[in-house]
Chains A and B, each alone.
Chain A
Amino acid sequence: MKRFLKIAAIAIVAVGLLALGGSYGASYYYTSQLGQGCAGCHEMGGYVSAVHGSLHQKVGCMECHEASMGTKLRHMRVHFLGTPPETIRLRDKDVLAMASNCRKCHQHEYANWHAGPHSATYSQIFADSTHNSKRRMMEDCFRCHGMHFDGSVRDLVQPQNLQGPWHLIRSDLADQPTMPCQTCHQVHKEGTPQAKPATRISVAGTAGNDSLALFDRREKIHFAAASLAIPHLLEGARPVKMNQDARQAICYQCHAPRGSEAGSVAAANHWGPQVGSGDDRTPIGVHEGLSCVSCHFGHNENARASCKTCHPQMSHCGLDVEKMDTTYASASSQHNIHWVKCADCHQHGVPKMKAVAPAKAQVVPTTPGMDG
Chain B
Amino acid sequence: MQSKNKAVALTRRQFVAAGVLGGAALAVGCKSGNQGNWDFLSDGQARTLAAICDQIVPADEFPSASQAGVLTYIDRQLFRHYRRHRDVYREGLEHANELSRKRFAKDLAEATPAQQLEIVSALEKEERPFFDLVRRHTMEGYYGSPRHGGNRDAVSWRMLGLDEPPVRGRAQYDMRKGATS
Contacts and interface: CB of A to CB of B under 8 A. Distances in A.
A and B touch in the complex (CB under 8 A): yes
Interface of A: 1, 3-4, 7, 10, 14, 41-42, 45, 79-81, 83, 86-87, 135, 140, 214, 216, 218-221, 223-224, 227-231, 252-253, 255-259, 273-274, 276-281, 336
Contacts of A7: 8-10, 15
B29 A258 contact: no
Nearest to A141: B170
B151 to A, nearest CB: 10
A242 to B, nearest CB: 11
Contact of B80 (A86, A223, A228, A255): A86
B37 A45 contact: yes
Contacts of B146: 219, 221
B37 A214 contact: no
Interface stretch (B86-94, B96-104, B129-137, B161-169): B161-169
18 contacts: A3-B5, A42-B36, A45-B37, A86-B149, A214-B165, A219-B145, A221-B147, A227-B158, A229-B163, A229-B167, A231-B163, A252-B167, A253-B167, A256-B169, A258-B169, A258-B170, A276-B175, A276-B176
Contact of B5 (A4, A219, A229, A259): A4
B15 A140 contact: no
Interface string B138-168: 0000000111110001100010000111111
Q: Is the interface of A mostly helix, strand, loop or mixed?
A: loop
A256 to B, nearest CB: 3
Nearest to A80: B29
Contact of A336 (B37, B148, B175, B179): B175
B174 A276 contact: yes
Interface in B16-36: 19, 26, 29-31, 36
Nearest to B7: A4
Interface string B39-70: 00000000000000000000000000000000
A257 B148 contact: no
B5 A1 contact: yes
Contacts of A135: 172
B114 interface: no
B167 A277 contact: no
Contacts of B30: 41, 79-80
Nearest to A255: B169
Central interface residue in A79, A135, A278, by most chain B CB within 10 Å: A278
Nearest to A15: B22
B147 A224 contact: no
A255 B9 CA distance: 67
Contact of B170 (A87, A140, A336): A140
A218 to B, nearest CB: 7
Contacts of B15: 7, 10
B80 A83 contact: yes
Contacts of A220: 147
Contacts of A223: 153-154, 164-165
Nearest to A82: B29
